[in-house]
Amino acid sequence: MGSFVYEALPMRVVFGPGALASLRTETERLGLRRVTVLSTPGQRGLADRAAALLGALAVDVFAGARMHVPVATVAAAAEAVRAADADGCVAVGGGSTVGLAKALALRHGLPFVAVPTTYAGSEMTPIWGLTENARKQTGRDRAVLPRTVLYDPELTLKLPVPVSVTSGLNAMAHAVEALYAPDGSPVVAAMAEQGVRDLAAALPELTRGPEDLDARTAALQGAWLCGACLGTTTMGLHHKLAHVLGGLLDLPHADTHAVILPYVAAFNLPSAPDARAALARALGGDAAADKDPTRALARLAERLGAPRTLRELGVRHEDLRRVADEVLAAPYANPRPVGRAELDGLLERAWSGT
């Protein structure tokens, strides 16, 4: 076995059906006394429920979180937190809300508790992102990690199937990239393989029965493991593409990940045999996985009814060159070299569905 470094991230995880009931106890445990509850407009009802559970600890609800964390949204949230004299936050929702809490932690030192309601996995990573003037800047800083994460599968029972599917594929993308990251380890590889296995088994089940608590629990566990992998490894071409497409074209984050996952995997896995073998094992429910896990990924996305092309997301063909320019201007580490010709070909396939 080769040499490696593994650094565990300092977060407390409370997992299980009904975990939301411990929200006040977990918040008090951190010494917080005045918190602002964060959510998107669509999650306002759940934010109000969280505020009710917090009782006197909740001093405000800010329901203005937005996809890709625009700097204007962060400024508005920071003003609301200041006006409420809050000493921390509770982020209830998916990647947009957790991303806002991260930005507040980064810029204003506010600790937060995360209550994920999707499979995005952002709560498990020190990665932050801010979008300004159609460009998404990302970075890593442990200061943006939540102090505690409450995973309650019951909160995902009403998550619409299309959102569940794209969010779950988004999570799988974290694990796929972690498997070929230059700073991987046996610990990360084990978590990544199990995370993909959990999600690949659970997503078809919850599409058939969205309120199947066992499937929802397995999916949330898989998302946790996949997010934890991303939190401790270097991102590659897949995430660079997703960040550029999202920031430049304002595409839906999870949908973008879902579309490009099989295309980037097909490009990278021939140069990452160990990652390819791990994915083949994790996707073993599909007989084709033994020969080609990228086809298994594509078939899974098709079975789940996920979007398959960038064109479906509204990307115009003439946008592809701008996307390639942005990616090549500041590339991420990747197991296979990425030049203009290779990237143009990959984007063309992802746009057309070839």
Kindly report, residue by residue over 7-65, the tens digit of the pLDDT: 888 889 999 999 999 999 999 999 999 999 999 999 999 999 999 999 999 999 999 99
CA distance 35 to 53: 12
CA distance 86 to 89: 8
DSSP bridge partners of 14: 150
Is residue 20 a contact partner of residue 78, using CB atoms and an 8 Å limit?
no
Picking from 354, 329, 349, 352, the residue whose alpha carbon sits closest to that of residue 340 is 329
Q: What percent of the chain has pLDDT over 70?
A: 98
CA distance 243 to 245: 6
Mean pLDDT computed over every residue of the chain:
94
Angle value at C-alpha 68, between 153 and 260, nearest 5 degrees: 80
Write the pLDDT tens digit of every residue in 303-350. Answer: 999 999 999 999 999 999 999 999 999 999 999 999 999 999 999 999
CA distance 296 to 280: 8
Average pLDDT over residues 93-99: 95
Backbone angles phi, psi at 11, to 5 degrees: -135, 145
CA distance 178 to 265: 12
pLDDT given at position 284 = 84
Reported confidence tier of residue 285, pLDDT bands at 50, 70, 90: low
The two tokens of residue 159 are 């998550």
pLDDT given at position 291 = 66
Sole residue written with tokens 């990307």 = 315
Task: Give exposure, 76-97, as e/b (b: 16+ Cβ within 10 Å).
Answer: ebbebbeebebbbbbbbbbbbb
DSSP bridge partners of 38: 62, 91
Sole residue written with tokens 């600890």 = 57
Domains of the chain with bracketed CATH: 12-156 (3.40.50.1970), 161-352 (1.20.1090.10)
Average pLDDT over residues 81-90: 98
Picking from 170, 188, 187, the residue whose alpha carbon sits closest to that of residue 178 is 188
Examine the pLDDT at 1 and tell me if it is beyond 60. no
pLDDT given at position 135 = 84
**What kind and span of H or E run contains 222?**
helix 213-232
Examine the pLDDT at 171 and tell me if it is beyond 90. yes
The two tokens of residue 310 are 């960038």
